[in-house]
Amino acid sequence: MSDSGTLTKTGLVDLSGVNKHFGELHVLKDINLSIAKGEVVVVIGPSGSGKSTLCRAINRLEPIDTGEIRLDGEPLPSEGKSLARLRADVGMVFQSFNLFAHKTILQNVTLGPLKVRKTDPKQAEKRALELLERVGVANQASKYPAQLSGGQQQRVAIARALAMDPKVILFDEPTSALDPEMIQEVLEVMIDLAKQGMTMVVVTHEMGFARTAANRVVFMADGEIVEQADPETFFTNPTSRRAQDFLGKILKH
Ligand SMILES: Nc1ncnc2c1ncn2[C@@H]1O[C@H](COP(=O)(O)OP(=O)(O)O)[C@@H](O)[C@H]1O
Ligand SMILES: [Mg+2]
């Protein structure tokens, strides 16, 4: 550790003093968060608390007003080729699967590596098939997204993110649009990734996932990080009133 008295930044993803407004609405309030390589951080909190905005800020889908976000020590680029590379380094899996409807499953997975990483087409295809195998949908490779179930599509979205060899993957409520019977198959892929050391930020209310896979739970409310702890501590002994109220509501369901 540095003893120079200056702030030492050590995370793979570092947010310091991040603020973001939408007009008058202050949606990220002085966010300080450092995510280590290989760490799995689950972000929970009421609707509208800024969880999606936080994710979107980390891959610069949303610019921030003040503060700084660093990936691997480098400030996020704002434009051009380096922004495209950032988007590849920071994988994103959304609630709505966001696959290209007019491309096959295989093409959905090879597109990024071909365009952004300039991977050799044969190599990109080989890797895509391996990844589709890994998430259990290799036999669907030549189909189109609409021919797959929601759970299968979401697993393809994960394979697509992995195809870029991302440094971190952000998951924004990846199972909340799925029918209940498909949630587990997606969570299992995510648990597997976590075990293999992928750095992950996961917005989810799936407490089972948080308990199994998270190193840390971050609770947000009203644009602030109100509380954070390891899952066991957070779920059994939340210290803030807002976290207690929130857990009381979601755990009743
Ligand atoms: N593009 C936008 N323009 C204006 N307000 C937005 C926009 N995106 C989100 N908001 C508002 O910002 C707040 C935080 O939203 P969001 O990050 O989506 O919260 P969460 O994901 O925790 O539900 C909400 O009040 C939301 O209505
Ligand atoms: Mg959201």
Report d(CA 168, CA 12) in Å as an integer: 8
Cα 219 to ligand 2 centroid, rounded to whole Å: 13
Report how far residue 49's alpha carbon sits from residue 32's, in angstroms, rounded to the nearest whole number. 15
Out of 19, 20, 53, 61, mutate this one to test ligand 1's pocket (max ligand atoms within 8 Å of CB): namely 53
Give the CATH H-level superfamily of domain 3-98+167-251: P-loop containing nucleotide triphosphate hydrolases (3.40.50.300)
Atom of ligand 1 nearest to the CA of 56: 17
Residue nearest to atom 6 of ligand 1 (CA): 22
User: Are 70 and 25 spatial neighbours (Cβ–Cβ below 8 Å)?
Assistant: no
pLDDT tens string 202-244: 999 999 999 999 999 999 999 999 999 999 999 999 999 999 9
pLDDT tens digit sequence for 94-121: 998 889 999 999 999 999 999 988 999 9
Contact, 77 vs 58, CB < 8 A? no
Task: Name every protein residue with a CB atom under 6 angstroms from any ligand 1 atom.
Answer: 22, 25, 27, 45, 47-53
Alpha-carbon distances, residue 59 vs 29, 84, 250 (angstroms): 18, 10, 29
On average, the pLDDT of the chain sits at 93
Taking a C-beta distance cutoff of 8 angstroms, is the pair 182, 15 a contact? no
The pTM (predicted TM-score) of the whole model is 0.93
Q: Where do the structural domains in the chain lie, given as residue ranges? A: 3-98+167-251
C-alpha–C-alpha distance, residues 233 and 45, integer Å? 16
Which residue has the least CA distance to atom 10 on ligand 1? Answer: 22
Q: How far apart are the CA of 171 and the centre of ligand 1, in A?
A: 16
Local structure of 33: helix, strand or coil: strand
Q: Per-residue confidence at 8, pLDDT binned at 50, 70, 90?
A: low
| Residue identifier of the C-alpha nearest atom 20 of ligand 1 | 48
> Which pLDDT tens digit goes with each residue over 170-202?
999 999 999 999 999 999 999 999 999 999 999
53-73 pLDDT per residue, tens: 999 999 999 999 999 999 999
